[in-house]
Structure 1
């Protein structure tokens, strides 16, 4: 099947990485060829909900809902805490899993958590909603459409051919397979067979009985019409709990700590900096807290070595707990005012799930930036076991997910902000990892702003060697393409766990070689299998899908292509498909299946004839 997608460069990358990262909650649902015209959402009726409300969020006419719920006494009364069967079409999304994407318009004070747990009654999860929408979960605007995807099932002929209608059923407190099976009048063993990956919580697929053929045939096409999102990707079926009632620092900054010229969490005022730092005047700080030096010093043990968690080119990073929230504090010298201002400008105006969140700042004595704390350090530490983290190597699934998260963050600053922001220092050390092993782009001190549609501009050379494109290193032209090139280097790092500049021992003399050149040497071979196998991180063992590990180097090769960078990537053809089989983290695969077949490595073709079309064969 060939899909023609009119997209921009980052959407090309996102689509490919999305397909590589997707897997369904249950292995039986890992891939699909077609859907089915009818499935049920078992909706838990909560106090305040009614048929009109449920009809609206599922885009389903009330008569159709009532036709599938003959025990409902009337359209004006729904028994509290009962389950209502809401019919919808079960689609094969992207050829990878069964589901339906509804479009919900946010209301005042909505959060992703509320939408998942209350509005859609746990039929989806907060994590899934975050994966398919670009709004920061802490700053979800009112009145905007968001994608809400609900998984579904069309059955499994290998289990039983007698059942073709299934309900997606979110388990509530005290419920289990046995109790749900009894309610539906089916055998518990049968339900378990249809849910082979069930771990005791979440959502299950239950065979629905007692529905006549006449009722099924009576569903009108208009009644089951929904909205499908092209960029749908589901990474995990595990429901992520969040304490919504716990307000963040951005919402709870006490105004009695503020002084003239400072900004409260609810507004924006000019920052009146110390006269010793004239470069800091005039900046507008939007929704950031100004901390006192005393508060930061107390939270870090007077910036003790015990609290030090990182060292960068422009400052030292310390761990702290501020007003009940974990935080990371970057302490910078006054000489770094340009980098301080650049980062403050970006992170006070740009909010995205995959960009590190700025909490506040301080300009007393030194320059301080306060960020959300990222539990799992940075990507480079995990790939190369540095920093004393003592953590196991990242699984292939986690690596692809982190790549996808980082691409989303970069796409946002390149394509969804005015002016456009160019990071200029993308590398594994600047991709942070949270407690759920999702990635966020950090360290915006070298970020450059440019107006939409402007040609590339020349500036002084900044960044990290090994991540710079040859064109940028030679001419100093700044455009989003330099971030795309650096992202390609990060993809190579994810595969190999090697540094961007590698020391080799050719001819017994230590030499250095770029990681891009190493992979180019391998991919340029008539049969690159052996060379590419040697580059794969040995700590992955056999726990990776061969197809994906072959295709990520192809994707990285395209992003690092000089012809692609020069032309701005127009048509990219990735043959043999982009979505190799996914494996669950920690799930070993047979050794025989991990002989890498890369004979088609050269079938990645760059063609610049059209406008943003990526063809996946």
Structure 2
């Protein structure tokens, strides 16, 4: 009996400790969120936005949870995850004695549901807790949910209710949602005492700028700078005119056969280029000058590659070898070409000096010496698409997901479209293939290897006849093989082959199963699919086995249709690259949403909204 009596003595003490611990926990939980204050129920209403952290629900499910139309749900990429922004009406209300801005919805309670899981997983921890609400959380019943929202003081902003996630920072959230950092901090002053510290689960209000970030201070400074530059320019012009007049007077009576001053004022870049042009007998270098590429010395490129050590070699082709190197603190790829390949060297140099696009490999500089020519590019970490599609596991790569393939198709199309339609001169690449498409860390594709590029005029008749057959077997259109004719539609045809490779995982030329000594083109396989009475059914068994059935067949078929369009035997009936962009964009978005609905977390999210 002594032991039970002692326990009875300690029970009040234990109860006190438990009560204090529980009240501390509740206090801490309450401090994770504060309602956006409003003065009275008749205070204005507005459109507000709720940030939904994706847990694998479809758009239709989310629209049901939030009682909105799917048109009010917009995707947003955060840390490679597809989340959603949900537009809702927000109003000033009194919820169980708490005055603030709220958006009300309801949730159909399912058997086995737990309240805390519903508020965290479905409503991203943004539901306001009401005393005794557990009593209403009954399976089969509608449970009222009060979500925090807010109305800004200025019409140029919309308030986003955001729940802090792992690795978030204030500046990162502000950047993600186009908000000014200072205004963001001020709007959450009750919660953010130290701007360097925020915690997972905090609910913050973000004043998102509807038109993106603009800075009046920067604008004023910009105007001031324009005025100052204008004054300085005028003064400089006056002094320059005076100097010219003085020099002209000094030169009167002198022999005017002196060296052209323009030649003296040429930059080091132009002089070195002219020297290379003369040395290697290259005639057409009109308009070559560019400020972007840097001229490196032979010593610099040799040091960067450890003397072109074979262990640094990362590629080899008909025009030379490619080495990995480090120049300063930047990783680079250096193509080493024999001097007898000067035509290809200058073709690539001329084009990449003028082309700067996120889906085209960036030329950083060039060098010459020791009977060789060198092109220095940005280093693209993941290597070529060819390595990731054909026997990827043997080459140390994981097979590409379908969403990754959709992104690569779109990126490649944008890169080719850019050189066709958005440069001063129109270029034909002439060697589009999977080994000339490089992938960066985010699996963003970049078109590379412009050694065969050709300039064509922007006229109605832009065909030109090559002096020899160039390109790669398996990617060449009929008109190139028959007539050596090359146009932008030749690149479109080759792109159609690349799409077929992305879908099937097969090479452009494959061994015929019935006649092993013969090679069969992937092009003929695409033709066979679309000659079938049910092409979608004919396509399905040919989809890359590395995907293991994880793909949306509808989107795969749409890409196959684009491939067939590009592979039309008559170039007139092929699309322009720009005509493929819209459908490929839709395929990518639909593929990512399909993957997200399965709880996927694809590497492609980081590249979804990049590029043109």
User: TM over 0.5: same fold?
Assistant: yes
Question: Which TM bucket (shorter chain)?
Answer: 0.5 to 0.7
After superposition, what is the alpha-carbon deviation per residue over 1:27-82, rounded to whole angstroms, capped at 9, x for unaligned? Answer: 778657999xxxxxxxxxxxxxxxxxxxxxxxxxxxxxxxxxxxxxxxxxxxxxxx
Determine the structure 2 residue equivalent to 1:550. Answer: 557
Structure 2 alignment gaps of length 5 or more: 1-51, 90-101, 107-119, 131-144, 149-160, 178-208, 213-263, 600-612
* 1:448 alignment partner, one of 446, 454, 461: 454
Range 389-398 or range 329-338, more displaced:
389-398
1:342 alignment counterpart: 347
2:390 to 374, 384, 407: 384
Q: Which residue of 1 aligns with 2:104?
A: 162
TM alignment of 1:143-222, pairs within 5 A: 152-154=85-87, 162-163=104-105, 185=128, 201=168
Cα gap change, 1:544/1:200 in structure 2, threshold over 3 Å: closer, same or farther?
A: farther
CA spacing shift, 1:418–1:578, aligned 2, 3 Å: same
Distance apart, 1:98 and its partner CA: 1.8
Is the 1:377–1:433 contact (alpha carbons within 8 Å) kept by the matching residues of 2?
Answer: yes
**Deviation digits for residues 477-499 of structure 1 (CA, Å, limit 9, x no counterpart):** 22111111100100000011111
Higher relative contact order, chain-length normalized (CA < 8 Å, sep 6+): 1
* Residues 151 and 91 of structure 1, relative CA distance in 2, 3 Å threshold: farther
Q: Where do 5+ consecutive residues of structure 1 fail to align?
A: 1-23, 36-89, 100-122, 129-149, 165-176, 206-223, 228-258, 591-617
Where does residue 468 of structure 1 map in the other structure? 476
Q: 1:420 aligns with which of 412, 418, 426?
A: 426
* 1:482/1:530 CA distance change after superposition, 3 Å: same
Give, in whole Å, the separation in 1 of the partners of 2:312 and 2:72.
Answer: 45
1:396 alignment counterpart: 402
1:502 equivalent in alignment to 2:473: no
Corresponding position of 2:465: 458
Contact 1:547–1:580 (8 Å) recurs in 2: no
Give the conservation status (yes or no) of the 8 Å contact 2:304–2:326. Answer: yes
Q: What secondary structure, in the 3-state scheme, does the structure 1 residue paired with 2:591 have?
A: coil
CA separation of 1:567 and 1:358: change in aligned 2, threshold 3 A: closer
1:520 aligns with 2:524: no
Q: Classify 1:260/1:513 alpha carbon distance in 2 versus 1 (closer, same or farther; 3 Å).
A: farther
- CA separation of 1:285/1:261 partners in 2, compared to 1, >3 Å: closer, same or farther? same
Tell me what 1:302 maps to: 307
**Change over 3 Å in CA distance of 1:571–1:403 after alignment to 2:** closer
The answer to whether the Cα contact below 8 Å between 1:268 and 1:286 also exists between their aligned partners in 2 is no
Task: Indicate if the aligned counterparts of 2:429 and 2:453 stay in contact, CA closer than 8 A.
Answer: yes
Structure with a larger share of its residues in helix: 2
Query: Offset of 1:585 from its aligned partner?
Result: 9.8
Partner residue in 2 for 1:362: 367
**Aligned pair partner of 1:322 in 324, 327, 337:** 327
Q: Relative to structure 1, is the Cα distance of residues 26 and 190 closer, same or farther in structure 2, using a 3 angstrom cutoff?
A: farther
Displacement of 1:284 after TM fit? 2.4
**1:26 corresponds to 2:54:** yes
Shift of 1:531: 3.6
> How many residue pairs are counted as aligned between the two chains?
401
RMSD, aligned α-carbons = 4.9
Residue 535 of structure 1 and its aligned partner are, at CA, apart by 1.5
When normalised by structure 2's length, the TM-score is: 0.56
- Deviation larger for 455-464 or 369-378: 455-464
Cα distance change on mapping 1:305 and 1:29 into 2, 3 Å: same
Give me the whole-angstrom Cα distance separating, in 2, the residues matched to 1:31 and 1:447: 44
Give the C-alpha shift of residue 525 in structure 1: 1.1
Which is higher, the Rg of structure 1 or of structure 2?
2
Mapped partners of 2:481, 2:549: distance in 1: 38
